[in-house]
Amino acid sequence: MEQKQLTGSQAVLEACIAEGVDTIFGYPGGAIMPIYDALYDYKEKLNHVLVRHEQGGIHAGQGYARTSGLVGVVFATSGPGATNLVTGLADAMIDSTPLVCITGQVFAHLLGTDAFQETDVINITMPVTKWNYQITDAEEIPAVLAKAFYLARSGRPGPVLIDITKNAQLQNFNYPGYTPCNHIRSYRPKPVIRKEYIDEAVALINNAKKPLVIFGQGVLLGKAENEFKKFIEKSGMPAAWTILGLSALPTDHPQNVGMLGMHGNYGPNVLTNDCDVLIAVGMRFDDRVTGRLDKYAKQAKIIHLDIDPSEIDKNVKADVGVWGDCKETLPLLTLGIEQKDRSEWLAVFADYTKQEYEQCIEPEMFPSKEEMTMAEVIRNVNEITKGNAVMVTDVGQHQMVTCRYAKFNQSRSNVTSGGLGTMGFALPAAIGAKFGAQDREVIAVIGDGGFQMTLQELGTIMQTGVAVKIIILNNQFLGMVRQWQELFNDKRYSFVDIESPNYVMLAKSYGIEGAKVEHRKDLVDAVKTMLAHKGSYLLEVMVGKENNVFPMVPQGCSVSEIRLK
């Protein structure tokens, strides 16, 4: 049988189709032009979204991956096109987001000559990718891309970058067909589950008087939401979340005690240093969660479940490290643990919640002062969406407020830049999130600072017609930096005043409807109008200039030193 002849570019697109890719985010250029030329003939099979900047493309790929649970795919050209992906790669790497990024490269014979738009993208991106590889011969493309998709989605997911020289894109070769990868020698995506560690963890949980579960994004990445719910319901234990774990358990679940970390809830932070057994599921003990490590949960026995063995004992020493995919390890723990009523212990969390509500939550959610607060905006969104929307946040005060107060009934509903804290993330990520969850309402909540970093992606919304709702919470400051300057630098507000354009007029120039709210009496109707609108919509809400986000664990303090005001 005669083998089919394909170009390297066609082989790239055949790999995408074979892997079930339906949407690609990208920006063409000289070094990737052969792939874009081939894409012209694949338009019925592959939807390409033309972004306005490569950073917008990769954040859109992240948003798509986070809501769909699939691998996000991004195309970019060489040189500046490839280097513009670096921020998104770093973001995806630390947040374990599966991506396959394909960059064009100069002809192989020009490598190392400082050719036009040549950059050593392999060495630049090595620290911020799970794997990267440069292809100079088209015959490598099918196998390398199969490996790329497998590595991106398996084990602890992450971004992969494949750099393809222009000659390899143009080269004709005998195409052997596409064989998906499901094994790589020396790569073990799922560690072997050790029964003795399961037994040790079960014994600690069964003997615990005041256990606390803290869960992260690993529950979502492992698609283990049901397994996790069964685990906590049988054990009766309170469960608190990191911001990337948010939505793995419904917000209103009676055992959900709230958010951990610097701006987390009062109870789970203080009681981390009071529990006797701390069970961490799919989280990495980030510094924003732990505060001072030398004062973190020293009284507790630590059980740490993670698919990545390198995370065990990295920041917090575990008494029992349970390696493995939590979709497989949680049912084993659930089988062994005893069903217990821990209502007295849960009531302790409720007492802390009451204190926090009176001092922090109520004044923010139902303010008596004239100026509007971020929290009351989120409360109004909750009341209308009933906790069924996807919320995409940028980075700053609005991010912490949204994560604290948004209600979620469904998993994969919270999309935010967790580990890297990338300003400018939300607008392009919301575009990708909507492509990944087309049947759901997607709402981007963004500060006036972060919005101005990637506002050019309004052009992507205009061209695609994607229906994203955008709320700009405008406090006329770089709010989180200003808060720190107020609290720790004697109100020396150094370069945090930021002026904004007329956002509504800007949106309308892109064909996007919008409105601005300056008074509380107009807020409810404005939110209803935004959510009822069929297409994209931008709502700017003017909020208090010097409102702060509390509670807060000051940097350098322990989680039990959290401040309510």
| Residues classed as catalytic | 54, 116-117, 166, 480
Phi first, then psi, for residue 25 (nearest 5°) are: -105, 130
Contacts (Cβ under 8 Å, ≥6 apart) of 80: 117, 119
Strand partners, 184: 187
Helix (H, G, I), strand (E, B) or coil at 545: coil
CA 398, distance to chain mean position in Å, is 15
Structure tokens at 465: 């017609």
Q: Residue 75, by phi and psi: left (phi above 0), alpha (psi -120 to 50) or beta?
A: beta
CB 311, CB 305: distance < 8 Å: no
Residue for token pair 């209103």:
252
Q: Which two tokens stand for residue 60?
A: 């859109």
From CA 278, how far away is CA 210, in angstroms rounded? 9
Contacts with 135 (C-beta within 8 Å, 6 or more apart), sequence order: 8, 141, 144, 162, 163, 164, 165, 168
Q: Which two tokens stand for residue 372?
A: 């509007």
Give the three-class secondary structure for 410.
coil
Helix then strand count (H, E) for the chain reads 24, 20
Please provide the size of the chain in residues.
565
SS3 category, 133: strand
**Cβ neighbours for 326, distance < 8 A, ≥ 6 positions apart:** 218, 219, 222, 224, 227, 228, 281, 282, 305, 306, 307
Give the E-state strand segments of 414-526 in sequence order: 414-415, 442-447, 469-474, 513-517
Q: Is the dihedral of CA 318, 285, 557, 205 positive or negative?
A: negative
Take residue 240 and report the two structure tokens written for it. 């608190």
CA distances from 119 to 8, 79, 293, 296, 306 (A): 21, 5, 40, 44, 36
- In this structure, the number of other CB atoms found within 10 A of the CB of residue 254 comes to 11
Task: For tokens 């199969």, name the residue.
Answer: 146
CA neighbor of 228 nearest in space, from 210, 248, 254, 243:
248
- Inter-axis angle of helices 195-207 and 326-336, to 10 degrees? 50
